[in-house]
Structure 1
Amino acid sequence: MRPSQAPKNGHSFSHLVQDALGALRRHLGMEVAFISEFRHGRRFFRYVDSDAAFSPIQVGGSNPLDESYCLRVVDGRLPQLIPDALQNAEALSLPVTRLLPVGAHISVPIQLLDGEVFGTFCCFSRTADLSLDDRDLAVVRLFAEFVGGTVAQAFRQRKNLKAAYQRVQHAIAQEDFHIAYQPIIHVGESRLVGHEALARFTAEPLRSPDKWFHEAAEVGLQEELELAAIRKALENLHRFPAPTYLSLNISPETILKGGLPAVLAGYPLDRLVLELTEHESIDDYAALVAALAPLRQRGLRVAVDDAGAGYASFRHILKLAPDIIKLDASLVATIDKDQGMRALAAAVVRFAEETGSKVVAEGVERPEELQVLRDLKVNKAQGYLLGRPRRAEDLEFPG
């Protein structure tokens, strides 16, 4: 999601705000109701509801904050309730009071949780209304607390998304990450068969790679970050002895965007594996299969990650017919102690034998786990017991 986009529930939320503004305006007999945001010395109109015959302001419009009633209400120069602006000296000091004109006016500050003023919740009419009293002001304050608080939260979320977008974009532009390569071993023959490329970030804030990729997906930069990591991983393919392969993590969404073939151009596809990272059901398996088909025809292999961790991974296996099925680390961690996990792993191995897939166990950390995997005829594995992820320049190969 780009930072300029509203949250997924933004459409229904906007309707809620508009309905609230309209209800309040009609209840008070006013002509205009709006929510403003204070920013950079200006007042921005974020939500507006007006009488059809009088629409002096529009959503997205702005004017100088120091020329507004709003600022004077917030700093105390004007009261929150003004039944007749022409009877208030401070209001008369503002040209807008006579130009519009402004008659009755109610304005309540909207505050964030930390006490910072977000803006105001306002209503006004061109004619005075001496019937307005503290009960009407209390209603506006209630609406301001209910709707205004939610508005402030929504805009704070948008602000956070913008900051996240800039953070991920900077990490991509500056390549604030490196690639670590974890060996994949044929345990029966004690032979290296490949490496999995794993991104490691050096940018602030320091956090796990999955959080970086999750944030990139939230702000619409998933494809850019994933392809940047793949490009960087491929730079070291020449260091690895043939015919060992390199496994590259990628989401189905990035594959469907169509930019992957250009990134892989010029590399030997028969030495590459695409490891799908999606843990949820995929909406359009047919489109994904079609996108992968030309690459697979030229030797590229596909792996499904996290088998045994949930229903989605088994669905991927059935729909995509992967070349490699990777047993999830959570399954491997208890495989020597839990009969159920051992039976599940055995079922995956049997399925792989029937379909021609190969099985790779992830997260192998103890000799006991490795022994059970050998007993189950899982010949390929990776994990700290067999080799930690290391930079390409730190890898050593026999011969």
Structure 2
Amino acid sequence: MHVTDACGRGGATPPSRWDPAEPDPVAGLLATARRRLGMDLCWFSRLIGGAQVIEACDGDAAAFGVHPGSTVHHPGPHRSHALAERPLPVVGRIRPEAVTSGTATEATGTAATGVEATGGPLAGRPEVGSYIGVPVTLADGRPYGMLCCLSRDADVAMPARKTRSLALLAEVLSASISDRRSGGEYREAAWWRIWRLIDSGGPTMVFQPVFDLPSLDCVGAEALARFPPGSGGAERWFADAAAVGLGPALELSAIRSALRAFTCLPPEFGLGVNASPATILSGRLADAIADIPADRLVVEVTEGDRVEDYPSVRCALGVLRREGVRIAVDDVGAGYASLHHLVQLQPDFIKMDQCLTRRIDADPARRALAAALVHFAQETGSLVLAEGVETARELGVLIGTGVHQAQGHYLAPPGPLPLPASANRTRPPDTA
């Protein structure tokens, strides 16, 4: 299904429950089962209606005429038990003449049934001497399919250890399938939850003022996304969006909501919006800023995924810079990616993460790192903005270190517009 967003752009399709990009545990398990049991062919089939449709196989599949998509019926006791959600193991020796006619009927074994090959996947093939199959059930007990093996050699006794070994492997496969199904269901639910929010106009936005140091005059704000109460915070929403392929779409939805604030901001105020490298590389930011005063916009590059192609990111940022947009690197000091961004992207603003701001008044190491960032900014023509200022003492150290701008709850919490003209100076100094 193809989905179009509120702006007429084509969107991604919901994720399937089985992501082909993920490692497939079935192939390795089938190979293990075939080797351990000394069989010629092992397959995994899924129960669809009254039939078993082969999804994967290992061994001499061509010789037996088996391939993914082959349909194998299990009549008799197994089929009735499967429909009753109580499948039993299938064990037996198969007569060659039964295979030739298209039906392989068990001769020995317990809880054994025949195997009927619809469309002839086993008909006319080399002698099938023995067959063993065990059910694969989901965690909630529902039947899902069968794990089966064939051998050319007749194994009249069909040792119980083979049944137990295959049953153990079926349990491993069952756990893997259950985990992947539950994960796939979560991804699909997340996709629709995120897409409905985007289609309804995106997240609501609040604005955290940014203040000049040492004057404490307000010079702009950072736009922050807020999501429906009880649905998880912004970090979870953006992480889920990235996981299901809607990361850029959700970020752009938030950015468009934020840009509407320009109609309410004083003309000298700037506005910062967050964008991951993936969103920057999408090339869609240029469209989003077409009708706003670009010279008042700051694009804050978040850590996001590790960037493998910095030349492409610089090229995409260059397009924005030619329109007048300024660039900030967010969360500097919080991780490897932000420091690499700092060197590679030559930002106009260096946003010092709150992990460096917190208790900077009591930690010489944090003060040294802040001073190093200020020196780096002087050498590169950028400005340092400290995030997460929570106390008067932290603010005093930042001013003394030469940090250029600051934001944080001590100065002003995030909130709706309009922005204050200056920081809240009426709060008493923090003496804690």
Task: Map 1:105-144; keep pairs closer than 5 Å.
Answer: 105-124=131-150, 130-144=156-170
Q: Which residue of 2 aligns with 1:177?
A: 203
Alpha carbons of 1:45 and 1:76: their partners in 2 closer, same or farther (altered >3 Å)? same
* Aligned residues of 1:110 and 1:120 also touching (Cα < 8 A): yes
Decide which of 73, 81, 98 is 1:72's aligned counterpart: 81
Q: Which residue of 1 aligns with 2:44?
A: 35
Alpha carbons of 1:346 and 1:237: their partners in 2 closer, same or farther (altered >3 Å)? same
Counterpart secondary structure, 1:52? helix
Q: If each structure's helix is expressed as a fraction of its own residues, which one has the higher value?
A: 1
Q: Which residue of 1 aligns with 2:425?
A: none
Q: Which residue of 2 aligns with 1:200?
A: 226
Alpha carbons of 1:190 and 1:158: their partners in 2 closer, same or farther (altered >3 Å)? same
Q: Does 1:284 align with 2:309?
A: yes
* Aligned residues of 1:108 and 1:140 also touching (Cα < 8 A): yes
For residues 6 and 299 of structure 1, the distance between their equivalents in structure 2, rounded to whole angstroms, comes to: 41
What is the TM-score when the length of structure 2 is the normalising length? 0.79
Decide which of 258, 264, 268 is 1:243's aligned counterpart: 268
Q: Does 1:23 align with 2:35?
A: yes
For residues 95 and 176 of structure 1, the distance between their equivalents in structure 2, rounded to whole angstroms, comes to: 54
TM-superposed CA distance for 1:349, in Å, is 0.8
Amino acid at match of 1:27: G
* Aligned residues of 1:177 and 1:199 also touching (Cα < 8 A): yes
TM-superposed CA distance for 1:325, in Å, is 0.3
Single out whichever of 177-186 and 33-42 deviates more from structure 2.
Answer: 33-42
* Aligned residues of 2:15 and 2:188 also touching (Cα < 8 A): yes
Q: Which residue of 1 aligns with 2:100?
A: none
For residues 309 and 355 of structure 1, the distance between their equivalents in structure 2, rounded to whole angstroms, comes to: 21
For residues 148 and 373 of structure 1, the distance between their equivalents in structure 2, rounded to whole angstroms, comes to: 57
Q: Does 1:46 align with 2:55?
A: yes
Decide which of 190, 204, 224 is 2:216's aligned counterpart: 190
Q: Does 1:216 align with 2:244?
A: no
Q: Residue by residue, what CA displacement relative to the aligned partner does 1:323-365 show, whole Å, maximum 9, x if unpaired?
A: 0001101111120110100111011011111211011110111
- Please give the root-mean-square deviation of Cα atoms over the aligned residues, in Å: 3.4
Q: Which residue of 1 aligns with 2:296?
A: 271
* Aligned residues of 1:17 and 1:47 also touching (Cα < 8 A): no
* Aligned residues of 1:335 and 1:369 also touching (Cα < 8 A): yes
How many residues are matched?
390
Q: Which residue of 1 aligns with 2:326?
A: 301
Amino acid at match of 1:46: E
TM-superposed CA distance for 1:396, in Å, is 4.8
Amino acid at match of 1:228: S
Q: Does 1:150 align with 2:176?
A: yes
* Identity of matched residues, %: 36
For residues 71 and 254 of structure 2, the distance between their equivalents in structure 1, rounded to whole angstroms, comes to: 42
For residues 298 and 324 of structure 2, the distance between their equivalents in structure 1, rounded to whole angstroms, comes to: 9
Q: Residue by residue, what CA displacement relative to the aligned partner does 1:354-398 show, whole Å, maximum 9, x if unpaired?
A: 211011110111111111111112231111111111134xx3555
Amino acid at match of 1:51: A
Single out whichever of 280-289 and 291-300 deviates more from structure 2.
Answer: 280-289
Alpha carbons of 1:78 and 1:118: their partners in 2 closer, same or farther (altered >3 Å)? closer
Counterpart secondary structure, 1:10? coil
Alpha carbons of 1:265 and 1:17: their partners in 2 closer, same or farther (altered >3 Å)? farther
Q: Which residue of 2 aligns with 1:81?
A: 91
Q: Which residue of 1 aligns with 2:381?
A: 356
Alpha carbons of 1:148 and 1:21: their partners in 2 closer, same or farther (altered >3 Å)? farther
Alpha carbons of 1:95 and 1:48: their partners in 2 closer, same or farther (altered >3 Å)? closer
Alpha carbons of 1:317 and 1:95: their partners in 2 closer, same or farther (altered >3 Å)? closer
TM-superposed CA distance for 1:213, in Å, is 0.6
For residues 37 and 208 of structure 1, the distance between their equivalents in structure 2, rounded to whole angstroms, comes to: 39
Decide which of 43, 52, 65 is 1:55's aligned counterpart: 65
TM-superposed CA distance for 1:77, in Å, is 6.8
Q: Does 1:258 align with 2:269?
A: no
